[in-house]
């Protein structure tokens, strides 16, 4: 969404902001999603770092389900066809 609806460049540099901070400016309809994912960013980062104590299986499943819904919402707003979900049980090559 941010790439599809970029903001005009400003004369002076501003502080770096996360995508979740910028998203409501690019698409106000996604304000609640931005807030949700900004709050859950710490859990996502902990899971990516392998720190599983701070993230329960239920938390991970909720975030994954919400992310899938978010992607569908963005696809609808951009008017792009939905992408099929890849199967999770395909063995890796090698």
Give the pLDDT confidence score for residue 49 in this predicted structure. 82
Asked if 2 and 19 touch (Cβ cutoff 8 Å), the reply is yes
**pLDDT surpassing 60 at residue 6:** yes
**pLDDT surpassing 60 at residue 8:** no
The mean pLDDT value for 31-36 works out to 95
Q: What is the DSSP letter of 54?
A: G
The mean pLDDT value for 55-72 works out to 88
pTM, two decimal places: 0.72
The mean pLDDT value for 15-34 works out to 90
Largest Cα–Cα distance in the chain? 50
């Amino acid at each position: 969404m941010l790439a599809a609806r970029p903001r005009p460049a400003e004369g002076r540099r501003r502080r770096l902001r996360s995508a979740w901070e910028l998203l409501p400016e690019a698409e106000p309809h996604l304000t609640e999603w931005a807030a949700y994912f900004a709050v859950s960013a710490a859990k996502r980062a902990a899971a990516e770092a392998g720190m599983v104590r701070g993230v329960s299986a239920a938390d991970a499943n909720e975030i994954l389900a919400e992310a899938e819904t978010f992607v569908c919402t963005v696809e609808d707003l951009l008017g792009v066809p939905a992408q099929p979900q890849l199967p999770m049980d395909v063995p890796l090559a090698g």
